[in-house]
Amino acid sequence: MLLNIKDLTVAINGKEIIKGLNLQVNKGEVHAIMGPNGSGKSTLAAAITGRDGYEVTKGEIWYKGQNIVGLEADERANMGIFLSFQYPVEIPGVSMTNFMRTALNAQREYRGQPNIPAGEFLKLMEEKKKMVDIHAKLTKRSVNEGFSGGEKKKNEIFQMALLEPTLAILDETDSGLDIDALRTVAKGVNELRSSENGFVVITHYQRLLEYIVPDYVHVLSDGKIVKSGTKNLALDLEEKGYEWLKEEAAV
C-alpha cells in the first residue's frame, strides 16, 4: 500500500478541521476527492505534505511503510510526495529554472544520486515543457510571478512531471484551466500514471474525471469521508449535489 491514513484528526490553531479520516491508496490507483467548500480537502493535502501549523492531533499517515507524521515537508517531498497547490505561490526573484534545478538536485541528493548535469537538466526541462505545453518563456521568469491563473496550474503539473513523484496530490488543478489546458494537464497526468505511483485528485467537477479516470471517488464532508464509490459517484454528485449525502448520513 502506498498511502494509508488511519483515523486522522488535524487541527489548525486548535480548531479541528479533519475529524477522523481514513483513506487507503494503493500503487497504480487514482483516487478522486470531492466535497463542498470548506470541507477540509486542502487541509488534508497540507497534512499529508507536512505543512507547519497543521497539527495531527490523532491518527497516523503511513506512506511507503513509514508513519510520516512529524517528518518535515521537504523530507516528505524527497520521499516522493508532491502537492499541486490549489493556490500556487509567487516567489519574486527566484527563476523557475533555478527553483526546479535546486529542487531536483535536493531530491537526487536525498536518494544518494549526484547533481544533474546542467545540459541534461535543460534537456529534461524542454521535454517536460512540451508535455504540459507551457510557454517556453515561463521558465525564465520568477516562480509563478505574474503567471495567469491557468499558467500557474500548468506550472504545477510541469513541476510534477519534472520531479516524478510516487504520490501526487492535485488540489483543484482543473479550476481556472480552459478546455484545451484541461486536456493537456490530464494528458500529462495520464502519461505519468504507472503501476508504481498513485494520485489523489481533489476536484469539484466531474469533467476532469472524464480525462483522468479515477479508480475511486470519495466525498469529504465536514472533515470526514462520508461516501466512497467508483467513478459513477462523481456523476451522481454532478447531478444531485451534496445535499442528498447529508440526508443519507442523517438517516
Ligand X SMILES: Nc1ncnc2c1ncn2[C@@H]1O[C@H](COP(=O)(O)OP(=O)(O)OP(=O)(O)O)[C@@H](O)[C@H]1O
Contact pattern from residue 74 through residue 103 relative to ligand X, giving x for each residue in contact according to CB under 6 A and a dash for the rest: ------------x-----------------
Residue by residue, DSSP assigns 59-79 as EEEEETTEE-TT--HHHHHHT
Residue 86 as a binder of Mg ion (CB under 5 A): the answer is yes
Distance, in Å, from the CA atom of 156 to the CA atom of 89, rounded to the nearest integer, reads 10
| Minimal distance, residue 214 CB to ligand X, in Å | 17
Residue 42 as a binder of ligand X (CB under 6 A): the answer is yes
By CB under 8 A, the residues from 86 to 105 that bind another protein are 88-95, 97-103, 105
Binding footprint of another protein, residue count (CB under 8 A): 37
| Minimal distance, residue 23 CB to ligand X, in Å | 14
Residue 139 as a binder of Mg ion (CB under 5 A): the answer is no
**What's the CA dihedral at 222, 228, 232, 236 to 10 degrees?**
-30
| Minimal distance, residue 83 CB to Mg ion, in Å | 11
Contact pattern from residue 179 through residue 218 relative to another protein, giving x for each residue in contact according to CB under 8 A and a dash for the rest: ----------------------------------------
Contact pattern from residue 9 through residue 28 relative to ligand X, giving x for each residue in contact according to CB under 6 A and a dash for the rest: ---xx-x-x-----------
Residue 109 as a binder of another protein (CB under 8 A): the answer is yes
Residue 39 as a binder of Mg ion (CB under 5 A): the answer is no
Residue 42 as a binder of Mg ion (CB under 5 A): the answer is yes
Q: Please, where are the H alpha helices in 133-230?
A: 149-163, 179-192, 206-211
| Cβ burial, residue 248 (10 Å; 0-12/13-18/19+) | exposed
Question: Which among Mg ion, another protein, ligand X, none contacts residue 13 (Cβ within 5 to 8 A by kind)?
Answer: ligand X
Residue indicated by cell numbers 479550476: 175
Q: Is the dihedral of CA 86, 92, 97, 100 positive or negative?
A: negative
| Cβ burial, residue 215 (10 Å; 0-12/13-18/19+) | middle
Q: What share of the chain is helix, strand, coil (3-state, %, to 5)?
A: 40, 30, 30
- Nearest of 17, 15, 64 to residue 41 by alpha carbon: 17
Residues forming contacts to another protein in the complex (CB under 8 A) are 49-52, 72-74, 77-78, 82-83, 85, 88-95, 97-103, 105-107, 109-110, 140, 142-143, 159, 163
Using CB under 6 A, list all residues that contact ligand X. 12-13, 15, 17, 35, 37-43, 86
